[in-house]
Chain A
Amino acid sequence: EVQVVESGGGLVKPGGSLTVSCAASGFTFSTYSMNWVRQAPGKGLEWLSSISGGSDYVHYADSVKGRFSISRDNVKNSLFLQMNRLKAEDTAVYYCARESWNSFTFDHWGQGILVTVSS
């Protein structure tokens, strides 16, 4: 069974840093691109970043470019999002999502992890 499980969320002060992680299982992790999508409280979905299976290609939304960094460890079947210079508007549930093999859609999602940026 495909599973992705996020961890590492919490409360951080504005300007601070945090890294959220995603542990994957039930599929050949290295052959799938992975993504981060977030959802601010009561709001819609916002795609943040993607990384190809071999880490050759990474992409970011303008809202996080230069502040957030996506990476992966194919030995440990893990995905990461390092978040720097955090702002109050970064407060959201962060989802790890597997990209479908045949389209840039998201066929498996984690349960999400809450990141709160507040003083």
Chain B
Amino acid sequence: EIVMTQSPATLSVFPGDRATLSCRASQSLRGHLAWYQQRPGQAPRLLIYGVSTRATGVPARFSGSGSGTYFTLTISSLQSEDFAVYYCQQYESWPPITFGQGTRLESK
């Protein structure tokens, strides 16, 4: 099973600033990495797949990068609606599909 580790657990950022969230895999993912956003009381929403491809309707301020075992999600200019929990997910080796434990992005 591939273990996904996200850091930090909580990130405090001012609105309008840039946020960078990290995700590390226990083995190489060969690009099979996705990111999700979950706002309070809502279902997760797919943001990024294939490390860097934005899903339909996702604003350009969201970008993904990385390779091998280390990946980042960057939000270039934080809007109020971006404060949420973010999860990374690997689909390199399954079952099982595995998620990181999440990073809570909060407004400073």
Chain B CB within 8 A of A106 CB = yes
**Count of residues in A whose CB is under 8 Å from the partner chain:** 22
- Chain B residues near A61: list those with CB within 8 A: 95-96
- Among B42, B87, B89, B96, chain A packs the most CB atoms within 10 A around the CB of B96
Is the pair A104, B96 in contact by a Cβ cutoff of 8 Å? no
Is the pair B91, A105 in contact by a Cβ cutoff of 8 Å? yes
Chain B CB within 8 A of A111 CB = yes
Q: Give the distance in Å from the alpha carbon of A105 to the alpha carbon of B99 in the complex.
A: 11
B residues 88-108 touching A (CB-CB < 8 Å): 89, 91, 94-102
Total A-B pairs, Cβ < 8 A: 59
Interface SS majority for chain B: loop
Partner of B87, one of A44, A59, A60, A62: A44
Q: Give the distance in Å from the alpha carbon of A111 to the alpha carbon of B96 in the complex.
A: 23
Chain A CB within 8 A of B11 CB = no
Is the pair B94, A95 in contact by a Cβ cutoff of 8 Å? no
Is the pair B94, A103 in contact by a Cβ cutoff of 8 Å? no
Is the pair B43, A111 in contact by a Cβ cutoff of 8 Å? yes
**Which residue of chain B is the closest to A58 with respect to CB atoms?**
B95
Q: Give the distance in Å from the alpha carbon of A105 to the alpha carbon of B51 in the complex.
A: 12
Chain A CB within 8 A of B34 CB = yes
Chain A CB within 8 A of B50 CB = yes
- Chain B residues near A106: list those with CB within 8 A: 36, 44, 46
Residues of B that sit less than 8 Å from A by CB: 32, 34, 36, 42-46, 49-50, 55-56, 87, 89, 91, 94-102
Residues of A that sit less than 8 Å from B by CB: 35, 37, 44-47, 50, 59-62, 95, 100, 103-107, 109-112
Starting from the known contacts A47-B97, A59-B95, A62-B96, 16 additional A-B residue pairs (CB-CB under 8 Å) come to A37-B44, A44-B99, A44-B102, A46-B99, A47-B98, A50-B95, A60-B95, A95-B44, A103-B50, A104-B91, A104-B94, A105-B34, A106-B46, A107-B55, A110-B43, A112-B43
